[in-house]
Structure formats: structure tokens, C-alpha cells
Amino acid sequence: MQYPLEGVKVLDFSRVVAGPFAGRLLADLGADVVKVEPPDGDGTRFHGKKVRGISGMFNQQNAGKRNICLNLRAPDAAELAIELAAVADIVLENYRPGVMRKLGIDYATLSARNAKLIMCSISGFGHDSPESHRPSYAPVVHAEVGLMHRMAERNGTPPGDLPLSVADTNASLHGLIAVLAALNMRHQTGVGQHIDMSMMDATFATDDRAHFEMENVPDTLPVCPIVDLPFGPVFLATDMKLMFKKLSRHYALVDPTPEGADLETKIALRVEAIENRLKQCETEAQFAELMDTIDIPWGQVRDPHHLDEQVTLKHRGMIKQVDDRVGGTRPVADSPYRFSGAKSGVRGPAAHRGEHNRGVLKEWLGAADRQIDAWIESSVLIPEPVEGLD
């Protein structure tokens, strides 16, 4: 089986997570994704475990991509970028609005040379917003779109950030959908287009609870309990009232409420009875059998250090081992896509800055070594660090 996007060329100018994640998924789907990295490196190169100069976070977002290091501020760098975009199908970028124009490689310039080009620009607040000038990272959007406030209210804690970059990945995923839609439309029209993807828009559109606040009504979805059991804490996707009914019906759980008790006492005693019954399950297997019988969704509150023990992730091979470039391997999350007639998946580790300068320029542009050497001498191209170390 072949990859769905074999033959598609992607020029990825994006950095950190919003953008690189979309490029990573395009690479997993078979596209030839070339990351264009600045001389000072992507910010994610400094986060996570480093193996031969490549950090875990950079590896996660850029696995399977090739890499060229281009100094976009050097004379003649814009022309080289334009030449690469002229043979590309897709360009990804997440500079602040206006930066690509200042660099001389905005959509108007690139599409003048390649009318079929699809360009996706990801930014915090969009290109036509009164706030488009604002710098943005995921936590900024989490604050502005109400996620921090809601989490604080729900947990009864001071506002704080989420433990993952939701705004970044939402923008990347919605950007990916838009890119694939534009690619399909190009088959019909023969021309590409520009996609303006805002992290604010993408996160707000994906917020399934925003309607409660917008219409000023209480969030009626239940606050589900977490119960400490002998084998660890467990999240129960139900309310205790339904849990009590099901345990009473299937396991003859006795109602401990004395006659004439008020509602508060009744609830407290029934919750205690439920927890005492659940704590009789000394192992996860015993608890799983109980939950299967009464048909209650649940999840072990798992320490992420032990995700390699999670049954589904393990069975579906979601944790892949890729070459660590020093004779071993390192873990990385695999592609989530499962096709009946195509393949997908991470195709290798992330690259060093400039590792594929020659290979990409020869394959995409037919450039000769003499021309590549000239770009290096003029500081347009920055060669791979000595021994591949950052």
C-alpha cells in the first residue's frame, strides 16, 4: 500500500507547535515535507531530552521531515525561497502577520510564480484582526478564549494553564483540514489559495462547551467523580445517582439511608456505600469486570510515565521507536490514521539544522554543487552543525 500524499511537496516555514504539527502529520501521510529552519534554530530544540543534539519536543513535531537551514534575512535568500515554493504544492508558516511580506515571500509573491500553490498561515489572532499584531503562544489563547477561567471555576483553583498546547494543535489540525480541502479544490479548479488560520478561531470552534457561556446558562454536563481504589485513582464517566441505581440492580447494593434522612445525608451515605463497594475491587481486572457488568465508562487516572503500559496504545502501536542517530532508538507518538487501502505513520527521526541542504536543493531545483556552495558562502544557506550537533 502507498501513502495517501505520496508526491506532494510541502515547504514548512513554521516553528514551535502551531504549524510544525500539521507538517508532521503531512509527512506521516507520505508528503515530502521540508522544514525551513532559521539559523538560530526552532524554539522546541531546547525542550525535552536531547539525543545527539535533537530534543524530544523537536523530534515529536518534526519527525520524518527533511531540513534545510535558510537565513531569510540574507541577500538573495528570498529568491531561493521563491524558487522552492515554485515547485511546492503546499507552504506552511506561522510568522506574525506581515513578516512573510517583509521577507519578500508572502502569498501574493509566491503565487505569482506558482498559481497552484496552497499556503496556510497560522497566527494567534488571524491576519485581518485588530489584534493581529500581538505575539501569541498557546497559553495566551487558552486565557483569551476562556479555557483557563473555566478550568479554574470547575476545579475551584486559581486560573492556570492547561498541561498541553491545545490552541497550537487545534490550529494545526484545522489548518491541515483546510489544506487538504484546498488540495481537493485545486484538482477541480487548477489553482491554489491562501488559508488564514487563527489559533483563536480554531480553539473557539473546537470548544464544545462555549455555548453555555454564550447563552448564559449553567453547564449541565455532570461533574464526574474520581475515586481512589486499591490499584490507583479511577475516573467514572457517570454521576453517583446512576451508579447507585446500577449497583443496586446488578449487585444488590443496600441503601444505607435511615428513614427520614435529609437529601444531603442521603447523598453522602449512598456515595460512601458506592465507594466501599468499588474498593472491594483489589485489581484493575476486577474493577473492569464490574464496570462492564453495569456498563459504566471509566478510565484509570494514569501516570503518563507509564503510557507504554496502556493496552490500546500498545496494541495499536502508537508509541513508535525511531532511530536516535547514535545507534539506538527513542520513542515518538505515531500517526493516528488507520486506512483500509493506504498506509501512514512516522517515517523517521527529526533532522539536524541544514542536514538536507544539498539533497533537497538537488532534488527540488536540480541545483549543482557549485551553486549550493555559493549559497553557503553568501550565508543564504547555513550548513549542518559540526558532527550534526546543535
Eight-state DSSP code of residue 210: H
Q: What is the pLDDT of residue 223?
A: 84
Distance of CA 332 to the CA centre of its chain: 13
Cell of 199: 489559533
Residues 139 and 216: beta-carbon distance below 8 Å: no
* Phi and psi angles of residue 192, each rounded to the nearest 5 degrees, phi first: -90, -165
pLDDT per residue over 288-343, tens digit each? 999 999 999 999 999 999 999 999 999 999 999 999 999 999 999 999 999 999 99
Roughly how many angstroms between the first and final C-alpha of the chain, as a whole number?
37
Residue 297, all three cell numbers: 465508562
For 5, the grid coordinates are: 500524499
pLDDT exceeds 70 at position 390? no
Q: What is the rounded average pLDDT for all residues in the chain?
A: 96
Domains of the chain (ranges, CATH numbers):
9-211+316-388 (3.40.50.10540), 226-305 (no CATH)
Q: Which long-range contacts (CB under 8 A, 24 or more apart) does 129-133 make?
A: 129/198, 129/200, 132/96, 132/97, 132/98, 133/96, 133/97, 133/98
What is the set of active-site residues?
168
Alpha-carbon distance 210 to 216, whole Å?
Answer: 10
Q: What is the pLDDT of residue 204?
A: 98
Which tens digit of pLDDT belongs to each residue from 344-360?
Answer: 999 999 999 999 999 99
Residue 202, Cβ neighbours under 10 Å: how many? 27
Distance of CA 292 to the CA centre of its chain: 32
Alpha helices by DSSP H, the chain: 20-28, 56-62, 77-86, 99-103, 107-113, 138-144, 147-155, 166-189, 199-205, 210-214, 240-251, 263-278, 284-294, 311-315, 357-365, 369-377
pLDDT class for 222, splitting at 50, 70, 90? confident
| Residue 41, helix vs strand vs coil | coil
Q: What is the pLDDT of residue 250?
A: 94
